[in-house]
């Protein structure tokens, strides 16, 4: 067990007090002569608890565990229970040491996980690369990243090729290849080649800075269970103190035996300490956030983790979420006597000047370098397509309306793929049609199947045509598909789904975080895909899947459910054991040592249970 310097001092104090307690019990002393001897180990192990109690009372914070332990042990000393008084304080400090170590380990786990902040950046100054603070590097500056170094700032690769370890950001063990022109984000580790990078964002707006800020702030967003424990402790502690006073005063008025009833009241106080809940519940959520981050899933707070555990409906955006968001040629249907190469060349010539994703996919599929200088008289018909002159011929690429406007008779052909159909003609002759489709992500089918296996309803909202939406929905086995929606329509659909959901369940919306901000905000849980480099995703969503992998969504829900299960176990266990021992203590059937178990023992067991979240892989 690796202890900090402070924890080692606390352990040494506990061992010293334990040895002094054994020695005090061995001395042949009688009556009140034993008190000074037992006060030595008592103050060695408990002076800080007494001091905290006094200081908190002076600040108006009377009812806490320090007050309860001080009152109980001082009362035991007054009653002549010297050994028990020292023992209670000794075992309480053992429990505190255990709690401190567990919380410290959880913080170290998060800190190690998020150890992605670069210390320096090698920036180009006066023709040479010099070390500088990343916060001092400006947008547009050129930096160099050598093998083994962290990428300090977001940017574009100017020269070089390499592979990047993105595990700290995405949880993905497979390195990512980059080369000239590729975007890279801060926090990754350069593995092989030397890269020169042009900075595109200042450090304060970089991916690594935003992630660190979100993780640091996650603890402030408490789950309902944490808020319950805070409110519970605020009322619980004064209530048990009043109960203990009543136990010490009221029964003796009728049956006598003051010393016996005061002893019962002190035992009652020791048992009542709420530290098992106060420490273990936040620790479970903290561990859940860390366990999710280790998988490349950024959860912005315990409240969102709690909501994620109750999700029974997941609504997906299509483009960029269920599909790759990159249009590719899915099918070629050339007219009789026309080759596929001829069909693609004419389409690429017509689209030579366009930056539309469909135009880009046509040029990629053609594979030839179409010289835009040879393409003239380009005319774009809104909502129809493009016409142009290329190599002395008139070329046209567009939809059926464009072909009808040009008086071109199309050959009937039934595509096998569902997608956007581009009809192509040259010099009034119909050359055929090209089907452009957005491919389903490789991880989508397995992710949807995993959700359905967990009894979760899946819905897709898309602005695409009904046929395209239905085709994707059927391929993935979705429960509902709503197509041809504007952004406002998506919000309306989510509102309707929220009204239909079962009580005490939640709805999650999964989108790319750029165009879906209104829906992400309206859902119970907003989940953003592919946040590497996407500011909007980090801003709008409650949960972020850092590597654009849908398979992480069921994982995130499993982590959330495990965390919620541990929280419930701790609450039921702690309250159940404490309730039983409080009753036994009030009836005189529990002694001071059993009271210590009910306090320290329950706390240790609850913390060990919460620690399962920190160890989850």
Q: Which residues are catalytic?
A: 317
Q: Backbone dihedral region of 71: left (phi > 0), alpha (psi from -120 to 50 degrees) or beta?
A: alpha
**Pairwise CA distance, residues 202 & 186, whole Å:** 11
**Pairwise CA distance, residues 283 & 13, whole Å:** 26
**Pairwise CA distance, residues 311 & 413, whole Å:** 44
Place of tokens 């170094």: 149
Contact 355/468 with Cβ under 8 angstroms? Answer: no
Contact 185/165 with Cβ under 8 angstroms? Answer: no
**Pairwise CA distance, residues 268 & 248, whole Å:** 10
User: What are 340's two structure tokens?
Assistant: 């596929």
Whole-angstrom CA distances from 206 to 133, 134, 210, 218, 289 are 14, 10, 6, 18, 22
**Pairwise CA distance, residues 437 & 471, whole Å:** 11
Contact 570/578 with Cβ under 8 angstroms? Answer: no
Long-range contacts formed by 426-433: CB under 8 A, 24+ apart: 426/346, 426/393, 426/394, 426/395, 426/396, 427/393, 427/394, 428/394, 429/335, 430/335, 430/403, 431/334, 431/335, 431/338, 431/342, 431/343, 431/346, 432/332, 432/333, 432/334, 432/335, 432/338, 432/343, 433/333
- Residues forming a β-bridge with 381: 385
Secondary structure class of 430 (helix, strand, coil): strand
Contact 51/99 with Cβ under 8 angstroms? Answer: no
**Pairwise CA distance, residues 271 & 68, whole Å:** 9
């Amino acid at each position: 067990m690796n202890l900090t310097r402070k924890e080692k001092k606390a352990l040494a104090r506990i061992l010293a007090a334990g040895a002094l307690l054994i020695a005090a019990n061995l001395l042949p002393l009688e009556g009140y002569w034993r008190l000074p001897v037992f006060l030595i180990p008592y103050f060695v192990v408990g002076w800080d608890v007494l001091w905290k109690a006094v200081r908190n009372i002076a600040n108006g914070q009377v009812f806490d565990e320090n007050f309860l332990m001080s009152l109980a042990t001082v009362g035991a000393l007054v009653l002549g229970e010297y050994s028990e008084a020292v023992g209670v304080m000794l075992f309480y400090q053992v429990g505190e040491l255990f709690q401190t170590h567990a919380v410290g380990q959880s913080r170290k786990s998060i800190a190690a996980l998020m150890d992605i902040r670069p210390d320096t950046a090698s920036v180009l100054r006066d023709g040479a690369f010099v070390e500088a603070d990343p916060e001092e590097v400006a947008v547009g500056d050129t930096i160099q990243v050598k093998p083994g170094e962290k990428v300090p700032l977001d940017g574009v690769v100017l020269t070089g090729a390499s592979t990047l370890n993105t595990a700290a950001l995405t949880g993905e063990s497979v390195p990512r290849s980059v080369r000239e022109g590729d975007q890279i984000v801060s926090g990754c580790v350069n593995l092989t080649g030397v890269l020169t990078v042009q900075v595109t964002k200042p450090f304060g707006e970089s991916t690594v800075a935003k992630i660190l800020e979100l993780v640091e702030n996650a603890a402030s967003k408490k789950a309902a269970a944490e808020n319950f424990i805070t409110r519970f402790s605020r009322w619980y502690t004064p209530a048990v103190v009043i109960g203990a006073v009543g136990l010490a005063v009221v029964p003796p008025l009728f049956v006598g035996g003051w010393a016996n009833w005061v002893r019962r009241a002190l035992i009652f106080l020791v048992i009542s300490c709420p530290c098992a809940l106060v420490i273990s519940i936040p620790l479970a959520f903290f561990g859940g956030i860390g366990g999710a981050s280790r998988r490349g899933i950024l959860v912005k707070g315990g409240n969102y983790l709690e909501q994620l555990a109750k999700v029974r409906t997941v609504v997906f955006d299509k483009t960029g979420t269920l599909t790759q968001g990159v249009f590719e040629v899915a099918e070629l249907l050339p007219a009789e006597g026309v080759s596929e190469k001829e069909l693609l060349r004419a389409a690429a010539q017509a689209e030579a000047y366009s930056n539309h994703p469909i135009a880009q996919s046509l040029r990629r599929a053609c594979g030839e370098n179409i010289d835009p200088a040879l393409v003239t008289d380009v005319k774009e018909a809104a909502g129809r397509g493009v016409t142009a002159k290329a190599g002395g011929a008139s070329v046209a690429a567009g939809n059926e309306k464009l072909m009808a406007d040009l008086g071109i008779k199309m050959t009937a052909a039934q595509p096998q793929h569902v997608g956007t159909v581009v009809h192509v003609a040259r010099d009034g002759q119909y050359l055929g049609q090209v089907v452009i489709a957005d491919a389903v992500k490789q991880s989508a089918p397995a992710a949807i199947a995993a959700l359905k296996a967990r009894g979760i309803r899946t819905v897709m909202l898309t602005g695409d045509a009904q046929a395209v939406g239905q085709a994707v929905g059927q391929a993935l086995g979705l429960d509902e598909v709503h197509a041809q929606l504007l952004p406002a329509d998506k919000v309306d659909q989510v509102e309707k789904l929220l009204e239909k959901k079962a009580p005490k369940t939640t709805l999650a919306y999964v989108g790319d975080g750029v165009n879906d901000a209104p829906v992400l905000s309206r859902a119970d849980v907003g989940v953003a895909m592919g946040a590497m480099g996407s500011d909007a995703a980090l801003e709008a969503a409650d949960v972020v899947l850092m590597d654009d992998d849908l398979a992480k969504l069921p994982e995130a829900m499993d982590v959330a459910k495990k965390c919620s299960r541990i929280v419930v176990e701790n609450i039921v266990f702690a309250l159940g054991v404490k309730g039983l021992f409080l009753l036994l203590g009030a009836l005189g059937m529990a002694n001071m040592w059993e009271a210590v178990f009910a306090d320290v023992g329950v706390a240790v067991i609850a913390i060990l249970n919460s620690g399962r979240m920190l160890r989850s892989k």
